[in-house]
Amino acid sequence: MYLIFRCDCGRTMYSKEEVARKKCVCGKNLKVKERRILAKTDNAESASQMVRKFQEEKYGGLQFTTADRI
C-alpha cells in the first residue's frame, strides 16, 4: 500500500505504508504517520499518477517537454 501526502512546502509525495520518514526535495524530513493522507493506492504506478494529479490541481496543468523543443 502506498500513501499520498503533502509536505509543508506544498509538494505532493508518496511513500510505502511501512516507511516512517520521508525527505522532501525542499530538505524537510517528514514523519509519515503525522501527515494527513490524501489518498491510498495499491502500487507505485498509480501512486505516481495520483501525485501528478494533485500537483496539477495545485499548480495548474504543467506541460513537460524535452530540451530540443525549447
Written as tens digits, the pLDDT of the chain (70 aa) is: 999 999 999 899 999 999 999 999 999 999 999 999 999 999 999 999 999 898 888 877 666 666 777 6
- Note the pTM of the prediction, 2 decimals: 0.79
pLDDT of residue 3: 96
What fold does the segment set 2-69 form as a domain?
Rubredoxin-like (3.90.820)
68 class by beta-carbon count within 10 Å (0-12 exposed, 13-18 middle, 19+ buried):
exposed
CB within 8 A of 68, min separation 6: which ones?
A: none
For the chain, give every domain's residue range: 2-69
